[in-house]
Amino acid sequence: MIRLVPRAEPSTAWTIATPILAVLLTMIAGGLMFAALGKDPFESIRTIFWDPLFHPQFAGYSRPQLLVKAGPLILIAIGLSLGFRAGVWNIGAEGQYIVGALAGAGTALALYPLEAWWIFPLAVLIGALGGWAWAMIPALLKTRFRTNEILVSLLLVYVAEALLASMSLGLMRNPEGGGFPGSRNLARWEPTANAELIGGTGMHWGVLTAFLAVIAAYVLLTRHIRGFHLRLAGQSPRAARFAGVEPNRLVIFCLGVSGALAGLAGIFEVTGPAGQISIDFNVGYGFTAIIVAFLGRLHPVGILLAGLLMALTYIGGELAQLMLGLPAAAIQAFQGMLLFFLLAVDVLTNYRLRLGAVA
Amino acid sequence: MTGAALLSVEGVTKAYPGVVANDDVSFSVAPGEVHALLGENGAGKSTLVKSIYGLVQPDSGRMTLHGQPYAPATPHDARRGGVAMVFQHFSLFEALDVAENVALGMENPPPLRQLARRIAEVSQAYGLPLDPGRTVGHLSAGERQRVEIVRCLLQNPRLLIMDEPTSVLTPQEVEILFATLRRLAAEGTAILYISHKLQEILALCDAATILRQGRVVATCDPRESTARELAELMVGGTLQTPTRETAEPGAVLLEVRSLSLAPANAFGTALRDVSFEVRRGEVLGIGGVAGNGQDELLAALSGERRASAEAIRLEGRAIGDAPPPERRRLGLLAAPEERLGHAAAPDMTLTENAVLSAAARMNLTRHGFLRWRAARDYAGRIISAFDVRTSGPGAAARSLSGGNLQKFVIGREVLQRPEVLVVNQPTWGVDAQAAAQVRQALLDLAAQGAAIVVISQDLDELMEIADRFAALNEGRLSPPRPARGLSVEEIGLMMGGAHDMETAHVA
């Protein structure tokens, strides 16, 4: 018989150890799953976690992908984590990411073929504003009419997807594209190209912004009164009101920041790795970032590491599909296991395991 | 006692991690006896009765009921053995009516119509007027307690456990309750009466078992004891009562005029036309039964809820619509009743909890950035000045005992040198020693020229420290009167007398 005994205070050691334990458990359970699928579990795990970085043949391509994939995940997850800390649940980062990309790309495309250095910064700014504005819809509905921000932000993802399809087939379609859906390629147009800052690293403006967001979030949460109020509101809403936190302002702040960061991720993606607005432009970064935020314990440094880990499983997963013929669903299940185990072992932070019979 | 004991408890021990709640406790209750279980908060009374009611399994020791071995694994077993309990905190659904609530707590409830008739019969027979058709959300605390008592009486209990039953009652309602309990005892029901209020035990009980730190320290006959003797047994030493130098009250600091506020939720209490003023050096005590607007009044004064600007004036300045930080800057501070989750964040450290309400006044931020070192120093100052027992400023708030956290919360506001301090239930659930310290701190603050508003349900406390007294009743505040010379009857009437006794028509 196993009993759970509550701890007087959350264990710091376990807070750090649980993500590592979760990764190990995921490797074991995932290995069993791969074995059940008839693949060598050790080779599968190695292909996912090791080969993307160190395989002599593939690493040259996949290593820069690590930052390319981790950048948007970290940027979005940092924004979401602020809200999650405060008890404001923005589930619609995917939509804010799309709208940010549409707004920024739309601005740039409207200026085509003007050649000016300020087009990229302007597009980035408008991209952030686009994501912010999309997030303001659930924020205002919540503060005015007490709607549930989880539902509204999530449903707005599907609205954004419809908008994306419409834009790539209509208004933003490349007039010189031979009738194919999708906009002009922004990555190949000098004034908007979000090129690699250091060749062969995958480091672009979006990745740099993500790193800056990590630092800013860390300072906010640990050093600033606003970050303190944010944490307080998440832990004890009544105590936060007593301290003087206005719940409505907090909702607008959290949704606004997370929307703006998701919008930034979107505009950096469309001007860089993706290159153009297309029907399948969004690949689920906004949703995966939720997992990244929790995997990183809603802590900026944790999110940085979790974003890199998640990117690794993406790249490694693709590699495993390619080299071992693992089905895509198995890779998704593998990523799902990671969140599952993380939440499961989370209980150790607040509880102590006791073995033995009930007294 | 005699061999005819209804319930006997022998050597019951129950330990929790870090604390022995009950240590070799023995006592017995005879049929028809009103037996007091007396002790401070944390003395182990609750754990003991939970063992008797089947909510907690003791580590060792044995109990007998009706001469048979008795070891209830669940409250269900206890009820089958004829043991019933009225808890301090009610378990009632506000949106349901009385009969429905009673039915929910029964093993095999009869049809509602029949049940309603029985409720009416029982409540009339025992002098507890109750209308079975009324929605519980609209009942006063005293009436809600009657629902719980009637629910127990319908099961014809042989032993009735009452946990601190009078904390929610007006003095008149206490008299009614006592009459009911004496009647039950005369019919042969044993009553185990848990309290730390000595006057009640002297007035009601036939026997008393006194607990201190989990052990039985004395068994006595309250009819042959004085309150002082019982108190010293309970505390284990002599009690020092707070002292103060009476000073002439100065200028009006806080002025509340026609403050009205809609309730925050469907079963909250609206504040109606509340008016009072507090002067420099004065302590205003606000009494009343729980749920009559105390939380709402504190929220209106702390700034958590906004009223019209003119409704609240601090040194003449209209602040009724100002947010909490602005009020703090101007010198109006508050300490809410609920320590964990309202006055303090449970999982945050004491340093962080010091920042919670002291950031502005104690300069704990610079350009919005926190000065953690200053915050830690301030938390340390509170800890040493108020004798808070803790491992240090880095300890989480929830790791402190109730009394120590309360000292911290009060200390956090007092050391900010407020002009006006509003506290709600400053000594609720706090041991006598800590309570005395908190009261002394409030009196000292008044002596230094602050104005103090103490909202409390503990009348003895208010009589001890208040210069003037007013009572909240259904969101209305009675005109304040000088506290000295007020009789218990007058106070009871200010609190609304026996709630709805004249209007409760029993069908």
In the sheet with B68-69, reading across from the earlier edge strand, the strands are B19-29, B7-16, B60-65, B68-69
Q: Which of B206, B213, B236 is nearest to B28 (CA)?
A: B206
The ipTM is 0.85
Task: Give the residue numbers in B contacting A (CB under 8 Å), as ranges.
Answer: 17, 57, 59, 302-304, 323-325, 328, 334, 336, 338, 341-348, 352, 355-357, 359, 365, 368-370, 372, 395-396, 398-399
One-letter amino acid at B484 equals R
- Angle, CA of B199, B200 and B206, to the nearest 5°: 110
Co-location of A24 and A115 in the same domain: no
Co-location of A59 and A89 in the same domain: yes
Q: What is the mean pLDDT of chain B?
A: 88
Whether B252-494 and B7-235 are alike in CATH topology: the answer is: yes
- Predicted local distance difference test score (pLDDT) of residue B507: 34
**Residue spans per domain, chain B:** 7-235, 252-494
Asked whether the beta carbons of residue B346 and residue A236 sit closer than 8 angstroms, the reply is yes
Which residues from A are below 8 Å from B303, CB to CB? Answer: 244
CA distances from A138 to A125, A129, A248, B126, B493 (A): 21, 15, 12, 56, 51
B345 min Cα distance to partner chain A (Å)? 6
Candidates B13, B338, B340, B342: best to mutate against A (most CBs of A within 10 A) is B342
- Predicted local distance difference test score (pLDDT) of residue B249: 77
pLDDT tens for each residue of B350-384:
999 999 999 989 999 999 999 999 999 999 999 99
Co-location of A302 and A352 in the same domain: no
Q: What are B70's two structure tokens?
A: 């008795």
Bridge partner list, B453: B284, B422
Q: What are A30's two structure tokens?
A: 């995932």
Co-location of A165 and A279 in the same domain: yes
Return d(Cα A297, Cα A304) in angstroms, integer.
11
Co-location of A180 and A229 in the same domain: yes
Per the structure, the count of domains in chain A is: 2
Co-location of A225 and A299 in the same domain: yes
Place of tokens 């050790």: A42
In the sheet with B312-314, reading across from the earlier edge strand, the strands are B271-279, B252-261, B312-314, B317-318
One-letter amino acid at B27 equals F
* B252-494 is a CATH 3.40.50.300 domain: yes
Q: What share of chain B is helix, strand, coil (3-state, %, to 5)?
A: 35, 25, 40
Least reliable range by pLDDT among A236-250, B303-317, B453-467: B453-467
Return d(Cα B314, Cα B397) in angstroms, integer.
31
Contacts of B144 (CB under 8 A, 6+ apart): B90, B92, B136, B168
Asked whether the beta carbons of residue A359 and residue B348 sit closer than 8 angstroms, the reply is no
Structural domain boundaries enclosing A144? 40-325
Co-location of A107 and A159 in the same domain: yes
Distance of CA A189 to the CA centre of its chain: 27
| Beta strands at B159-163 and B83-86: parallel, antiparallel or unpaired | parallel
Place of tokens 């009006």: B252
Cβ distance A257 to A82 under 8 Å?
Answer: yes
Q: What is the CATH number of the domain that holds A303?
A: 1.10.3470
pLDDT tens for each residue of A111-125:
988 999 999 999 999
Helical packing angle, A285-295 and A59-86, nearest 10°: 70
| Beta strands at B7-16 and B215-220: parallel, antiparallel or unpaired | unpaired
This prediction's pTM: 0.81
A8 min Cα distance to partner chain B (Å)? 6
pLDDT higher at A213 or A4:
A213
- CATH pick for B7-235 out of 3.40.50.2300, 3.60.10.10, 3.40.50.300, 3.40.720.10: 3.40.50.300
Cβ distance B406 to B430 under 8 Å?
Answer: yes
Return d(Cα A238, Cα A269) in angstroms, integer.
40
Give the rounded percent of residues in chain B with a pLDDT score beyond 70.
95
B279: helix, coil or strand? strand
Asked whether the beta carbons of residue B342 and residue A238 sit closer than 8 angstroms, the reply is yes
Asked whether the beta carbons of residue B59 and residue A8 sit closer than 8 angstroms, the reply is no
pLDDT at residue A358 tops 60: no
Co-location of A169 and A227 in the same domain: yes
pLDDT at residue B247 tops 70: no
Asked whether the beta carbons of residue B59 and residue A226 sit closer than 8 angstroms, the reply is no
Least reliable range by pLDDT among A250-259, A347-356, B294-303: A347-356
Task: Give the residue numbers in A contacting B (CB under 8 Å), as ranges.
Answer: 5, 8-10, 223-226, 228, 231-232, 235-236, 238-239, 241-244, 246, 359
